[in-house]
């Protein structure tokens, strides 16, 4: 029999289940040696584990490395093993029934994709930084391991390296020895947790220290970014979140320290490594940010802290139950923030995030919250709006349905019963049923194990509220909804809150009595339900006249969210949304609503949902309005930032571009608004893309002014945005050929490549995209491939021909593309679904 070595870096659920039946009680002892200015590092790993014979030929140990120097098994040289590109295979005949000790000495290369063991060079001061990122299946890029969530282990790490570097791990150092310029740090053995939660961060980091009761807290960032860090704010968020979560969970923080490290070229917002959370540097605010951006950062901080319990202490058995990590962290982070004093309106912003879920849930690629995950590639694809935002929304519905007391008691019991273990959906449901006295299994069948979003419509008839529920588009499923509604009476030109009721909708229709003078109703007040709400034409007329008079900002936010969903479903004209948006933007008191629900949506409509003819009409109108609003000297800086965003994205005519040029040169200024480094790059990118005569001079000067790593990446974005065929060809070559450049660097160029006003120049790259994309997804890492497939897809080509190209490409590659890489297939199906939604909206505008 010839044993088959994996040809892909992938782990199937079936293989993981087989292995977890054979392997248990794993322990890792790892020693790494790091050198300055090196492309590789040395490792020595001892893997101890109990083995139960299973009648297999080889046991797979996941491991990617450049070279293995020595392998010993139970103290003896191991010669009969197989080594593939992604794993090492041990012959079962050589394994002991019971305890085994495997030692491997090796040399590995650093990664430059943002995952694995990523290395970064800071161009400002030539310092080097390294960090790990392993979710869902990358720990074996650093050390040999059983890289799956249900083979939990403890880890004993020792690192040798330059003494000028800081070394941050999941635990505190136990012993430190310095000899000249070299240091050896032996960390304490960790608690038991899954391989993907292992962390090592290295480099000359700036550090700030604080405490929360017994827990030491640390914040770290690159030296060159130290001047931008605001540790007091981050520590305040951290302390408040930890206090709230410990009290709500009735379970103390389970680890011995809590570090938060802002690392370069991170692929996501953050990662919940045990006691050592890593964050993207985008959360280091180099310039003035909106309140909503501060809240989003605080939410990410709290989200990762929730993971210390949900995900780290108690972990899903396999990635099909990813939602047990992400949905809980997503919801409970907003919920915990709402209980504090720093961001008491956090649940309003959970509603903003739900737009991600609504969009994802209406794709053909949607999946149940409790999803399938046949392998680690499918697991990666499930890190989406369903596992995060829909799951969070449904948990909020569950909490409202059974009551907070039962919900809270179940969570506390969950941690006590399953600490340091792995769980499944059934474990969660049994505890929720036990504590609530309600059959949550039946509830879960309609919410966790189905797809699609319902739509509610209402009308007032003979003193009653009449509600109609529409089934999900894909399966016509009708669900039970626990929902709140608020009625308003008309008082002059104002809408005044009149009554609030909780009702259960259990079928296609429902009704409830109203007070006689209730004239307008908002369904799903305070957003307890996961559902779309549509309004009648009469209700829309009332909203346009009086929405701004409703005192509760959450209520106003809900109506704007409904209007956006109606626009996307072709039930409300995009031009009508713009008209109503601009009209009420002048009267909106809440700047978060102004930004998230009005101006941001108007920019999206102009970019995506208008015909070229309507775009030509509305862009100069919107640019003029933005210019006029920016001239108001009594505006706050935050309001000026919002209107400046609209000004920038609608600038196209020569006088509009000249005004941007005058802002970046200082010839003109805007009251209360600094044209900071970020805005300078954004203006120059716009001017370059539009072919402004002074763009090249500005670009040349800016490159000399900003030598930071972000400056270099922004410069590449400007280059890629040049309206020049030779520059486009050079950029395309950089994107499609193997490069020593990091994924993050190339991602910036991708974001500058496509522009609506460059359609003629970009037409050849429609076919080029389809010619290149399969190879990219086959040969490159998932982060790079995902960026290529999203950012370099020609979104501006909104035609039936483009839809046909996608569908033809899919059909030529199996049944609906099933022979394509799974992530590519998913992305193309979603892009086709977007076009199926956009094309009728465009056609309706043409009459």
- Could you give the residue numbers annotated as active site? 304
**Alpha-carbon span 114 to 370, nearest angstrom:** 28
Q: What b/e sequence results for 189-226 when a residue is b if at least 16 CB atoms lie within 10 Å of its CB, and e otherwise?
A: ebbbbbbbbbbbbbbbbbebebebeebebbbbbbebbe
Helical (H) or strand (E) element with 151: none
Name the DSSP letter for residue 110.
Answer: P
Q: How many CA atoms within 13 Å lie on the side-chain side of 589?
A: 9
**Alpha-carbon span 209 to 206, nearest angstrom:** 10
Give Cα separations from 744 to 80, 124, 528, 680, 769 (angstroms): 40, 17, 38, 21, 20
Terminal Cα distance for the chain, rounded: 68
Helical (H) or strand (E) element with 193: none
Query: Is residue 783 within 8 Å of residue 812, measured between CB atoms?
Result: no
Say which residues have a Cβ less than 8 Å from residue 366's Cβ, sequence separation at least 6: 360, 386, 451, 452, 474
DSSP secondary structure, 620-645, as one string: HHHHHHHHHHHT-TT--HHHHHHHHH
Say which residues have a Cβ less than 8 Å from residue 291's Cβ, sequence separation at least 6: 591, 592, 638
Phi, psi angle pair for 337, to nearest 5°: -60, -35
Residue with tokens 């550090």: 207
Give Cα separations from 190 to 194, 561, 709 (angstroms): 11, 45, 34
Q: How many other CB atoms sit within 10 Å of the CB of residue 39?
A: 10
Name the DSSP letter for residue 607.
Answer: I
**Alpha-carbon span 106 to 142, nearest angstrom:** 10
Say which residues have a Cβ less than 8 Å from residue 638's Cβ, sequence separation at least 6: 288, 290, 291, 591
- Sign of torsion over alpha carbons 468, 474, 479, 482: negative
Torsion of Cα atoms, 666 then 671 then 672 then 675, to 10°: -20
3-state SS assignment for residue 153: strand
**Alpha-carbon span 68 to 708, nearest angstrom:** 37
């Amino acid at each position: 029999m010839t044993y088959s070595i994996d040809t892909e870096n992938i782990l199937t659920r079936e293989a993981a289940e087989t292995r977890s039946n054979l392997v248990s009680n794993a322990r890792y002892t790892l020693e790494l040696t790091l050198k300055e200015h090196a492309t590789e590092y040395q490792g020595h790993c001892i893997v101890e584990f109990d083995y139960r014979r299973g009648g297999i030929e080889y046991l797979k140990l996941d491991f990617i490395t450049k070279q293995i120097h020595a392998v010993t098994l139970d103290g003896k040289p191991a010669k009969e093993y197989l080594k593939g590109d992604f794993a090492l295979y041990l012959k079962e005949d050589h394994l002991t029934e019971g305890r085994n000790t495997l030692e491997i000495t090796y040399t590995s290369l650093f990664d430059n994709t943002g995952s694995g063991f990523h290395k970064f060079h800071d161009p400002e001061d030539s310092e080097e930084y390294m960090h790990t990122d392993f979710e869902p299946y990358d720990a074996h890029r650093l050390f040999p391991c059983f890289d799956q969530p249900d083979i939990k282990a403890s880890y004993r790490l020792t690192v040798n390296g330059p003494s000028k570097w800081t070394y941050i791990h999941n635990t505190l150092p136990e012993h430190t020895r310095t000899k000249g310029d070299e240091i050896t740090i032996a960390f304490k053995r960790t608690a038991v947790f899954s391989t993907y939660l292992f962390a090592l961060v290295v480099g000359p980091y700036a550090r700030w220290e604080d405490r929360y009761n017994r827990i030491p807290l640390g914040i770290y960032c690159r030296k060159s970014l130290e001047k931008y860090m605001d540790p007091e704010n981050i520590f305040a968020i951290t302390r408040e979140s930890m206090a709230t979560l410990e009290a709500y969970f009735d379970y103390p923080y389970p680890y011995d320290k809590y570090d938060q490290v802002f690392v370069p070229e991170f692929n996501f917002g953050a990662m919940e490594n045990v006691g050592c959370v890593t964050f993207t540097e985008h959360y280091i605010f180099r310039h003035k940010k909106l309140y909503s951006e501060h809240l989003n950062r605080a939410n990410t901080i709290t989200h990762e802290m929730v993971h210390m319990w949900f995900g780290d202490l108690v972990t899903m058995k396999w990635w099909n139950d990813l939602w047990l990590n992400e949905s809980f962290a997503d919801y409970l982070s907003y919920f915990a923030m709402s209980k504090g004093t720093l961001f008491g309106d956090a649940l309003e912003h959970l509603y903003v995030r739900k737009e991600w879920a609504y969009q994802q849930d209406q794709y053909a690629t949607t999946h149940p919250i409790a999803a399938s995950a046949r392998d680690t590639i499918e697991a990666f694809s499930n890190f989406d709006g369903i596992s995060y935002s829909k799951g969070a929304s449904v948990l909020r519905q569950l909490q409202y349905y059974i009551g907070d007391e039962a919900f809270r008691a179940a969570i506390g019991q969950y941690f006590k019963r399953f600490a340091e273990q792995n769980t499944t959906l059934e474990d969660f449901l049994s505890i929720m049923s036990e504590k609530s006295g309600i059959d949550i299994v039946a509830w879960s069948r309609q919410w966790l194990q189905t797809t699609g979003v319902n739509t509610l419509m209402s009308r007032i008839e003979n003193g009653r509220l009449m509600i109609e529920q529409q089934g999900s588009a894909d399966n016509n499923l009708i669900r039970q909804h626990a929902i709140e509604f608020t009625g308003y009476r008309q008082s002059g030109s104002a809408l005044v809150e009149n009554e609030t009721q909780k009702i259960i909708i259990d079928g296609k229709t429902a009704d409830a009595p109203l007070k006689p003078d209730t004239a307008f109703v908002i369904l799903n007040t305070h957003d307890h339900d996961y559902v779309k709400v549509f309004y009648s034409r009469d209700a829309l007329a009332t909203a346009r006249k009086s929405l701004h008079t409703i005192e509760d900002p959450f209520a106003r936010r809900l109506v704007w969210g409904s209007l956006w969903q109606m626009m996307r479903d072709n039930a409300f004209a995009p031009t009508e949304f713009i008209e109503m948006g601009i009209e009420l933007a002048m009267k909106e008191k809440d700047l978060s609503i102004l930004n998230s629900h009005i101006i941001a949506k108007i920019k999206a409509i102009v970019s995506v949902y208008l015909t070229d003819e309507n775009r030509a009409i509305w862009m100069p109108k919107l640019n003029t309005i933005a210019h006029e609003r920016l001239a108001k000297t009594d505006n706050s800086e935050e309001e000026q930032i919002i209107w400046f965003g609209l000004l920038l994205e609608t600038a196209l005519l020569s006088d509009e571009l000249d005004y941007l040029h005058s802002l970046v040169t200082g010839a003109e200024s805007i009251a209360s608004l600094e044209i900071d480094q970020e805005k300078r790059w954004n203006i120059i990118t716009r001017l370059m893309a539009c072919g402004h005569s002074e763009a090249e001079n500005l670009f040349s000067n800016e490159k000399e002014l900003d030598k930071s790593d972000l400056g270099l990446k922004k410069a590449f974005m400007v280059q890629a945005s040049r309206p020049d065929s030779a520059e486009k060809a050079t950029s395309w070559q950089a994107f499609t050929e193997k490069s020593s450049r990091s994924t993050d660097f190339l991602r910036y160029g991708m974001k500058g490549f496509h522009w609506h006003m460059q359609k003629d120049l970009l037409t050849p790259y429609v076919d080029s995209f389809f010619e290149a994309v399969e190879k990219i997804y086959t040969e490159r890492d998932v982060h790079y491939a995902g960026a290529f497939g999203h950012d370099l897809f020609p979104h501006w080509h909104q035609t039936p021909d483009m839809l046909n190209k996608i569908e033809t490409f899919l059909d030529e590659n199996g049944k609906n593309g099933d022979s394509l890489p799974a992530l590519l297939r998913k992305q193309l199906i979603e892009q086709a679904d977007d076009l199926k939604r956009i094309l009728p909206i465009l056609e309706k505008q043409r009459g």
